[in-house]
Amino acid sequence: VGTPVGCAAALAVLVCSLAAGRIRRRGAGLAAMAVAAAAVTGVTFAVAQDVLPRAASTALSDQLTGHRVELWR
């Protein structure tokens, strides 16, 4: 995927950690972030296992390199 995507991911982690520090009810905020991370992980494995509907799998796989999808399989 490349360096720009890695930089964007690092920035997202930084923003989430700063947001978690300012949230009044941290438990709910951290739970929401954990659910979002679990959803992304689930979709990643679903693409790798080819269990999504064909249209969704194609749309997501087009965003990734074939080599990366094969590594997950």
Name the residue ranges covered by the structural domains of the chain. Answer: 3-72
pTM confidence score? 0.52
* Amino acid identity for residue 2 in this structure: G
Nearest to 60 by CA among 41, 42, 73, 47: 47
More confident site: 69 or 52: 52
With b meaning 16 or more CB within 10 Å and e meaning fewer, what string describes 37-59? eeeeeeeeeebbeeeeeeeebee
Q: Which amino acid is at 9?
A: A
Contact 37, 20 (CB under 8 A): no
Answer yes or no: is pLDDT of 1 > 60: no
DSSP assigned state of 64: S
**What's the pLDDT at 2?**
61
Q: What does the pLDDT look like over 11-56, one tens digit per residue?
A: 888 887 887 777 788 788 778 878 887 887 787 777 777 787 888 7
